[in-house]
Amino acid sequence: MIRRRLAKPDRIGQTARMKKTKKVKKAKKARKAEASASPHQTRSLDHVVMPVEEIELARSRLAALGFKLAETARHPFGTENANIHFRDGTFLEPLAIAQRETCEEAARAGNAFVAHDQAWRFRNGVTGFSAIAFTSDDTRADPKRFKQLGISAGNRLRFKRRAGAAKGAPKLSFALAFASDMRAPDLMLFTCQARHDPANLPKPVTRHANGVAAIRQVVLHDANPSDFQYFLQDVMEQRDQNAHSFGLDIEAANCRLTLLNDAGLQAWFGLEAEPRKRGLEVKGLVLATTRLDQLSELFNRNGIEWRERHGRIIVDAAPGQGAFFAFEAK
């Protein structure tokens, strides 16, 4: 009879640690190889996804804030949006569920965008931002790179939708590649590649009554923001960062991502973090406006509560607006 030696508990633990170490070394090796290769351009912010309960509720709230929303448009996988476009090329995407059964079917079929949206709504309701999208000129290569770095969050998604509800509205075509960090289940990052010719489309409305022209900062929070530094840098293709006592800043090509700890969130925006909650989340946006001196009058007229802090006008989350907006002079 052949007797086999059973692995000792400490040897089992040692094996698990070795596997984890190999995985970390593999990711570091991938970053080193990438850095030694031809340099990548830092990605630009494309848009931020804001789940809402109903598009018309969001339209009413956001219009009262002085935004001009695009026509409501439906995705083939059951969601709908009414985007807010800015002159810097970025946009805000209020996202609602138009056909729940279609969404559920798409999620079961492996649609990472819808699956994340459903999971996010289950945990958060409709308060906050669920995803950040960055530009890409090659979403075929992005999933391979994300997989190599250990941050892939699903298969590449290609889809088409019309620019509006009308049957004759022009069709838009997109491809998305997804990345996530399992320690931050309430945040998905993805790259977005427009596959249609924008020259054949009407220009989006970018002039707003509140004077907002650009997304200047995306504000994120975790008790220890540096834990998520490499995740964001890998997706953004940005090696530089600015660490400070309140967290750190990572520059996209067209805006800043500010990762704040509890003290930073309170100091800059007067918000208290949820006790003992971990995981990187988007808490709000800093928006650049040419009409800062006129906003108080606009908001008062439309019944919008606001407050002032560090020279910014801040509007806290409300139904139809899931997170704070901080307006500052352009």
Domain containing 286 — which CATH number? 3.10.180.10
Q: Are 92 and 174 part of one and the same domain?
A: yes
pLDDT on residue 170: 79
CA dihedral 105, 109, 114, 117 (to 10 degrees): 90
| Nearest to 64, CA basis, from 318, 330, 326 | 318
Q: Quick one: pLDDT at residue 5?
A: 52
Whole-number pLDDT of residue 35: 47
26 in a structural domain: no
Kindly report the CA angle at 50 between 44 and 56, in degrees rounded to 5? 130
Number of domains in the chain: 2
Q: In the prediction, which pLDDT does 37 show?
A: 45
Query: 298 lies in a domain?
Result: yes
What pLDDT is attached to residue 31? 54
| Residue that finishes a domain, picked among 200, 225, 256 | 200
Q: In the prediction, which pLDDT does 38 show?
A: 44
Q: Which residue has the tokens 């910014």?
A: 312
How far apart (Å, rounded) are the C-alpha atoms in residues 293 and 286?
Answer: 16
Domain boundary (200, 221, 243) is at 200
- Which of 236, 195, 269, 193 is closest to 45 using CA atoms? 236
Question: What DSSP designation does 52 have?
Answer: -
Look at residue 225 and tell me if it is in a domain: yes
| Whether residues 217 and 321 fall in one domain | yes
226 plus 172 within the same structural domain: no
pLDDT at residue 251, as a whole number: 98
- Does one domain contain both 196 and 249? no
CB 69 within 8 A of CB 50: no
What is d(CA 239, CA 299) in angstroms, rounded to the nearest whole number?
Answer: 40
- Sequential pLDDT tens for the chain (330 residues): 545 554 455 555 565 556 555 655 565 555 555 544 445 799 999 999 999 999 999 999 999 999 999 999 999 999 999 999 999 999 999 999 999 999 999 999 999 999 999 999 999 998 899 999 999 999 999 999 999 999 999 999 999 998 776 677 778 999 999 999 999 999 999 999 998 877 767 788 999 999 999 999 999 999 999 999 999 999 999 999 999 999 999 999 999 999 999 999 999 999 999 888 899 999 999 999 999 999 999 999 999 999 999 999 999 999 999 999 999 999
The domain of 282 spans: 212-329
Q: Are residues 173 and 236 in the same domain?
A: no
* Site of tokens 């407050």: 307
Predicted confidence at residue 89, as pLDDT, reads 94
Cα 93 → chain centroid: 10
Q: Is 123 part of a structural domain of the chain?
A: yes
> What pTM does this model have?
0.87
CA dihedral 321, 324, 329, 330 (to 10 degrees): -70
CA dihedral (252, 132, 154, 276) in degrees, to 10, reads: 110
